[in-house]
Structure 1
Amino acid sequence: MTVERLPHHIPKDTFESLFRLSVDHPWLIRKSSALFDLISTCEKDEEIDLVVKLISRINFFTPNDQLCARRKVCEYLTNHLGLIESDTLLIAIKDNELADSSSAYVQQMKGALAEVGGWRTSNFVDSLTSAVERVSPDGSLVIVDDFCGSGGAIKRKLEWLRLKLREHEKECRMFVAVAAAMEFSKKEVSPLAEDYYAATWLKRGISDNFSGPELEEATAAMLKLEQSLKARSDGKKLSDYSFGWRKSEALYYSEGDNPPNNNFPLFWWRHMKGGLERDPLIPRI
């Protein structure tokens, strides 16, 4: 394994920890510059220890992992729930002209369901309005996506769907199926969906992995680290994303995709306090 020349002086024990981390998580090898840059923002050993632990818990998905997840979603919908192509629509939560991950995921699900057979292009819809118009009166709607963070967005879409379906006098079943989701999102989504499935359920990076004094110390360390970031970056306020959007504390990275803002901003925020642009470990747009 080749490691890039270090941009900062790193103590030997810290370097050894990062080297072991890269061995255990090979995707970090090509991120060595960003990794060492991130560690250089830590002023105390407990901050370094926290960052290393969180990075080790990042749920990294390769394109093949995502394919396997789509197949799991497909198997769950068709075999466990028994949904059939004649009265089921897979839909994205998109309701505007901007591209989003759910629209892409609807398209990607075509390949997985093509392997089952019987499903057609007409089963896949990339807008909520079209889904309401096209679904049969007693059919099934399935919101699909690659990731669900707090569950707030999907909750709002389910509420909207329920209202519009009533206006159209349709009694449809509503489901949610995603590749990965934060466990705490269940309280938002489950009451509104007949079934909520994730191929992988994710825990919060700090709150679900520490307790007692360790939780207090880890929380304080992360707050301190966030103080090294610029208060505003790319039109966003750091205070809105502290510990991730809606305090999600997500640790999720799908290779080649735009990471969610539910991740700790420490891993994706683009500017340091003072305006210096940084090299984020998992950059996002």
Structure 2
Amino acid sequence: MDYKKEDYIKFMQLYSHQSWLSKKESSLEALISTCDTKGQKNLVFSLLDRFHYLNGKTTNFFLEQMADYIVNCEFEMERVQLVACTYNDEADSGQRILDMIKVPLYQKGWKKIKTVNVIGKAVKASSKGKNQIIIVDEFLGTGRTLRTRIEWLKKNVRKPVEIKCCFLAGMKNAVEKLKADSIDIFCPLQLEKGISEYFEGDKLNFAINDMNVLESKLAKIIKEKKLEDYSFGYGKAEALYSLENGNTPNSVFPIFWWLKDKNGNERETILTRYETGFE
């Protein structure tokens, strides 16, 4: 460890709060080394200190919460289809959660649950009496994708259907907006925005400026992906969340997962995101 003396205590405190980062020491040190000011360093430390990095035990706890909701949401098992919030045949987090939640549902007596791994296949299942649809996924950022899926279902499923949504985690403001529009959604872990819903007054202005400076050190474009589309997280979500051994949502601040710096060099990132278009 070759920390500067003034940073040493902050590194140690962060490791004590976020033990997963102790395995990413080199990546964290690389990120801190890109900071020009004490304010930028403090912002990075603050964001990581408040980060939700879900290990297996915690993930299983939230899956249990989701299963409880499904079993008690007044839908009937014989009429239900669990549908991943997935549009095409590319494997994604929605399909992963769909697979993971089958076990807690089975343990609660839902042993004959119909699962559908692509949203488009829900049409066929609904024609066979599965007209109570529960859309499942891992993370809700802005809610735009979910709204699109719901609109598609309502347009393409000819018979009357009931739709509910069940997400492992998501941004609190997005959940509240969906509920305000009468979209039934359950999300056990709800997050505040990492900067704009944490800092206030001058501290907020300084934090926004510091993040803009940090992002200016990243590549503006990687193949077909533009940094401006992901600034402060996709849709300005400002998410501080990732699943252990999972694919980091694009809602997370890109300083933690963007692959290249402004000079085109590969970055040693704290988190990993796989997305078509970055290969």
On whether the aligned pair clears a TM of 0.5, the verdict is yes
**Aligned partner of 1:162 among 150, 154, 166:** 154
CA distance, structure 2, for counterparts of residue 58 and residue 118 of structure 1:
34
Pairwise CA distance, 1:115: 0.4
Aligned to 2:202: 213
Residue identity opposite 2:253 in structure 1: F
| C-alpha contact (below 8 Å) 2:89/2:118 kept by paired residues | no
CA distance, structure 2, for counterparts of residue 209 and residue 11 of structure 1:
27
| C-alpha contact (below 8 Å) 2:66/2:188 kept by paired residues | yes
Aligned to 1:120: 112
For residues 45-73 of structure 1, give each alpha carbon's deviation from its aligned partner in whole angstroms, at most 9, with x where no partner exists. Answer: 11011110000011110012111111100
- Check 1:192–1:107 CA distance in 2 against 1; reply closer, same or farther (3 A cut): farther
Aligned to 2:85: 93
Pairwise CA distance, 1:131: 1.1
Pairwise CA distance, 1:129: 2.2
| C-alpha contact (below 8 Å) 1:155/1:192 kept by paired residues | no
CA distance, structure 2, for counterparts of residue 186 and residue 27 of structure 1:
28
User: Is 1:105 aligned to residue 97 of structure 2?
Assistant: yes
Report percent identity of matched pairs. Answer: 30
Gaps of 5+ in 2: 275-279
**Aligned partner of 1:70 among 41, 49, 63:** 63
**Aligned partner of 1:145 among 132, 137, 152:** 137
**Aligned partner of 2:47 among 46, 49, 54:** 54
Aligned to 1:131: 122
- Check 1:138–1:253 CA distance in 2 against 1; reply closer, same or farther (3 A cut): closer
Residue identity opposite 1:161 in structure 2: L
| C-alpha contact (below 8 Å) 2:84/2:94 kept by paired residues | yes
Pairwise CA distance, 1:101: 0.9
Aligned to 2:21: 28
TM-score by length of 2: 0.93
CA distance, structure 2, for counterparts of residue 138 and residue 125 of structure 1:
11
Pairwise CA distance, 1:83: 2.3
Residue identity opposite 1:273 in structure 2: K
Aligned to 1:198: 187
CA distance, structure 1, for counterparts of residue 129 and residue 37 of structure 2:
60
Residue identity opposite 1:271 in structure 2: K
Pairwise CA distance, 1:194: 4.5
For residues 93-152 of structure 1, give each alpha carbon's deviation from its aligned partner in whole angstroms, at most 9, with x where no partner exists. Answer: 22212111111211111111110124325x111122221221256831000111111111
Gaps of 5+ in 1: none
- Check 1:234–1:67 CA distance in 2 against 1; reply closer, same or farther (3 A cut): farther
CA distance, structure 1, for counterparts of residue 194 and residue 255 of structure 2:
12
TM-score by length of 1: 0.91
Residue identity opposite 1:49 in structure 2: N
CA distance, structure 2, for counterparts of residue 138 and residue 265 of structure 1:
40
| C-alpha contact (below 8 Å) 2:167/2:188 kept by paired residues | yes
Q: Which moved more, 1:63-72 or 1:184-193?
A: 184-193
**Aligned partner of 2:213 among 210, 224, 239:** 224
Pairwise CA distance, 1:193: 5.5
Pairwise CA distance, 1:266: 0.5
Aligned to 1:261: 250
User: Is 1:172 aligned to residue 161 of structure 2?
Assistant: yes
- Check 1:93–1:118 CA distance in 2 against 1; reply closer, same or farther (3 A cut): closer
**RMSD of equivalent CA atoms:** 1.6
Name the SS of the counterpart of 1:174 in structure 2: strand
Pairwise CA distance, 1:195: 1.5
Residue identity opposite 1:14 in structure 2: D
Aligned to 1:43: 36
Residue identity opposite 2:18 in structure 1: H
CA distance, structure 1, for counterparts of residue 25 and residue 130 of structure 2:
53
For residues 197-242 of structure 1, give each alpha carbon's deviation from its aligned partner in whole angstroms, at most 9, with x where no partner exists. Answer: 1011011100110111111110000001111111122531111111
- Check 1:90–1:25 CA distance in 2 against 1; reply closer, same or farther (3 A cut): same
CA distance, structure 1, for counterparts of residue 70 and residue 16 of structure 2:
37
